Amino acid sequence: MNLPYARALVTGISGQDGALLAAHLLAAGVAVTGTHRPGTPDLWRLRGLGVAAHPRLRLVALDPADATACAELVGALAPDALFHLAGQSRVAEAFRDPAASLAANGTSTVHLLEAVRTRAPNAHVVLAASAEIFGAPTQAPQDEATPLAARTPYGLSKLVAHAAVGSWRASYGLRASSAILFNHESEWRDPAFVTRKISRAVARIALGRERTLALGNLDAQRDFGYAPDHVAAMAAMAARAQGDDFVLATGVAASIRDFAAAAFAAAGLTLDWFGDGVDEVGVEHGSDTVRVRIDPALLRPFDAPLLVGDASKARRELGFAPSLDLAALARRMVEADLARERAA
């Protein structure tokens, strides 16, 4: 794999996407500087991927809310590509503190775009945007031309960032691209995210360490892709001569219920579903043991019923190709959590 750039700056390198992207870029011969929040970074993903001590990897602290710090870092590094992955990534947290999410995701993007414009104007900026910018679309699947109408505080914060990329591209000629990421999961996902919450609970249930998994809205349908496929597409976006927007998705929708069923199946457990609404339960087949129940406290004020993407443009122009279906993705995550639980 060859990439036509030598130096990359990756914000949020300690997260799932940041660590996977760093590993991908380092394997391609790119020198990577990764930023983390001030303080001691959590390197478990980079260690797990075998790149924490890579000679071409450098870690620095950065608060993206500090415009001066952003400009100074970009000016000192003069990166060929800047991948902005840092920010507030949890929808539930954005409901609790909308202003902080808007600052973390929207304002920080403006700071970095300005830093590139003034200090490294030839760099290609790639933003990790989100399918939440579509709100509750009437069109399915969603593509780059789907109207944007964010309905949640998180979606709004990502929409501001996405719009800023388009604005700086149009107004200043910046090479800036937005990756409109639909759900993309892996064994490196944070346990606070529903997919990893499910895979970890399934592993603990299979080992007899837990009995029941509590979830929120089982009916929400999402497009579950494999995170390494998405970060590889983002790396390819930065290799383009011009900035553009790309939907990254599998094109297949599945409910949270479907993902939970696939995860339990990966551990050899079949679920039968009974009841409606908050009374719905998933019962282990052949027994009366409830394995999934609804916790009303986990229901969000608003949850888009269907987000599924059309990545035809990314397939055509980036060579993007999803590598795992839902069953294989759930199995990979459950097997990784089983291994972790057994080693604990």
Question: How many angstroms separate the CA atoms of 53 and 67, rounded?
Answer: 29
Of how many residues is the chain composed? Answer: 344
The residue from 5, 114, 154, 226 that is catalytic is: 154
* Cβ density class 93-114: b for 16+ within 10 Å, e for less: bbeeebeebbbbbbbbbbbbbb
Burial (Cβ within 10 Å: 0-12, 13-18, ≥19) of residue 325: middle
Burial letters 168-189, b for 16+ CB under 10 A, else e: bbeeeebbbbbbbbbbbbbbbb
In whole angstroms, give the CA distance from residue 314 to residue 219: 28
Per-residue CA distances from 324 to 128, 287, 327, 329, 332 (Å): 21, 31, 8, 6, 9
Amino acid in the structure at residue 67:
A
Active site residue 172: no
Of the candidates 5, 114, 132, 185, the residue annotated as catalytic is 132
Measure CA 76 to chain center: 28
Is residue 114 among the annotated active site residues? no
| Whole-angstrom Cα Rg for the chain | 20
* Residue type for position 50: G
Strand partners, 16: none
Is 119 within 8 Å of 75 (Cβ atoms)?
yes
Bridge partners of residue 176, in order along the sequence = 125
- Active site (catalytic) residues: 132, 154
